[in-house]
Amino acid sequence: MGKVYAKIYQAVFKIGMYIIPWGMPETLEGAGCVTKLPALIKEKGFKKVLVVTDSVLMGLGLLDSMFKAMDEAGVEYVVYDGVQPNPTDINVSEGLKLYEENHCDAMVAFGGGSPMDCCKGIGAVHARRGKTVEQLQGLFRVLRRIPTIFAVPTTAGTGSETTVAAVITDHATHHKASMNDTCLMPKYAVLDPELTVGLPPKVTSTTGMDALCHAVEAYTNHTYNSKLENKLAEDEVRLIYNNLYKAYCDGSDLEARHNMQKAAFYAGRAFTRGCVGYVHAVGHTLGGLYGTPHGLAMSVILPHVMRQFGPAVYERLARLAEVCQMTGKSDAEKAEKFISWIEDLKVKMNIPVGLDVIKDEDIPQIISWAMKEANPLYPTPVYWTEPDFRKLLQTIRQ
Ligand SMILES: NC(=O)c1ccc[n+]([C@@H]2O[C@H](COP(=O)([O-])OP(=O)(O)OC[C@H]3O[C@@H](n4cnc5c(N)ncnc54)[C@H](O)[C@@H]3O)[C@@H](O)[C@H]2O)c1
Ligand SMILES: [Fe+2]
């Protein structure tokens, strides 16, 4: 019954996809371009912005060149730097307070997915005064214009600068869930590869694998995709194949960094319509319950889910293998090569095969949250029920 209902739901949603306005942010691109952002903010008529970021980035001085340019351009700013990895509803409330008390009129989301999602959450709760983060989670629950967001990604992974999602954890229940609404897509994105040069290898590798996961999950879903999303997913897999390991080995390789930024951006666009799948549904629960970094969860879970899908994904994975110039006698052989490439890359980048954080007593909760997130919305190649999730969790724990 669940599977039949999911098929009907997805068929209806697929029709809806054609009328949803899928935009993309305007971009500033290139090394050092973050210093041009204040002039853009001024040109668009904004006077005082809330900068949403985290304390690590402030400590590294990564925002200094932008602050200097803001002073020169006469753009006033207030900083909220309390965002934690896997941001919570408390982070959203703290940022919102600053935004409103200081009468800001726009926001700069500066950082990885955590500050960007927190910033979107602040915008949503500001627009829907009186509603909680939890009430706005789900599909199309914000339904209002939120303050303009200028997104400045400093990791190359989440693609939050171009997606309609904001993933926030409830601090009390540890339930990590997503708001999804077209109004959450930032209006502007600043892709400055210099900002990612200082990313530690461990963050480069796992956030890059998150981008790969977006492209692979969107592509293997394929029900909602138009030609554009399929093409974007193929292009981004190729970019990641050619650039992630380079960026990991030599963080100062600006070309590889820029290519990874582009891959993350367009893979974000691909899954915005194509959706993610069970890798994300399970990974989100681990982020909420145990604070597992999102990219790490994605890196660990991705190949296990693809293997568990089995023959249902051979054809799609074989196409991705071809995009990366991998050869084989059959789709099964090419798909196997593609999954093995992911596994080998993980080994080369010191990413573990499994995770030992999962507690026995949490398993029913993990499965229930993952099923709630994924079914019936995500058009996954195989429809999973409780035993399938249990099997995956066992594999991850080994
Ligand atoms: N909205 C979406 O569409 C979407 C998509 C995927 C993931 N997410 C969410 O994004 C969050 C994860 O974001 P993330 O993976 O970018 O990590 P993050 O934002 O949590 O950052 C991870 C760590 O890296 C540090 N860091 C970031 N940039 C740095 C830099 N340039 N130099 C040095 N250190 C740097 C941060 O300070 C932090 O300590 C999760 O909550 C995840 O659920 C959102
Ligand atoms: Fe992700």
Q: Is 199 in the pocket of ligand 1 (CB under 6 A)?
A: yes
Distances (CA, A) of 63 to 66, 68, 109, 131: 5, 9, 11, 32
165 C-beta closer than 6 A to ligand 1 = yes
Ligand index nearest the alpha carbon of residue 169: 1
Q: Which atom of ligand 1 is nearest to the CA of 200?
A: 33
**pLDDT score, position 1:** 59
Separation CA 324–CA 314 (nearest Å): 15
Q: How far is CA 35 from CA 130, 150, 195, 343, 344, in A?
A: 36, 13, 11, 39, 38
Whether residue 306 has its Cβ less than 6 Å from ligand 1: no
Ligand 1 centre from 158 Cα, in Å? 7
**pLDDT digits over 179-223, tens only?**
999 999 999 999 999 999 999 999 999 999 999 999 999 999 989
Strand 106-111 versus strand 149-153 pairing type: parallel
List, in order of start, the domains of the chain with CATH numbers: 21-196 (3.40.50.1970), 201-397 (1.20.1090.10)
Task: Choose the residue to mutate in 117, 217, 261, 269 for probing ligand 1, maximizing ligand atoms within 8 Å of C-beta.
Answer: 117
What are the strands, taking DSSP E only, across the chain? 26-29, 48-52, 76-80, 106-111, 138-139, 149-153, 165-169, 176-180, 188-191
Q: Which numbered atom of ligand 1 lies nearest the CA of 203?
A: 24
Assessment of whether the complete model's pTM goes beyond 0.85:
yes
Residues in CB range of 256: below 8 A, 6 or more apart = 243, 244, 246, 247, 250
* Residues less than 5 Å from ion ligand 2, measured at CB: 210
Number of Cβ within a 10 Å radius of residue 163: 29
State whether the beta carbon of 158 lies less than 6 angstroms from ligand 1. yes
Residue 100: HSE in the Cβ half-sphere, 13 Å Cα cutoff: 13
Using CA positions, which residue lies closest to atom 35 of ligand 1? 199
Q: How many whole angstroms separate alpha carbon 102 and alpha carbon 89?
A: 20
53 in contact with ligand 1, CB cutoff 6 A? no
Round to whole Å and give the CA distance between 324 and 338.
9
Task: Tell me, in angstroms, the distance from the centre of ligand 1 to residue 88's CA.
Answer: 13
CA–CA dist 318, 338 (Å, integer):
7
Which ligand is located closest to the Cα atom of residue 206? 1
Return per-residue pLDDT of the chain as tens, 398 residues: 599 999 999 999 999 888 898 889 999 999 999 999 999 999 999 999 999 999 999 999 999 999 999 999 999 999 999 999 999 999 999 999 999 999 999 999 999 999 999 999 999 999 999 999 999 999 999 999 999 999 999 999 999 999 999 999 999 999 999 999 999 999 999 999 999 999 999 999 999 999 999 999 999 998 999 999 999 999 999 999 999 999 999 999 999 999 999 999 999 999 999 999 999 999 999 999 999 999 999 999 999 999 999 999 999 999 999 999 999 999 999 999 999 999 999 999 999 999 999 999 999 999 999 999 999 999 999 999 999 999 999 999 97
Task: For residue 24, give both structure tokens.
Answer: 């993309």
Q: Which ligand is nearest to the CA of 295?
A: 1
Does ligand 1 have an atom closer than 6 angstroms to the CB of 203?
yes
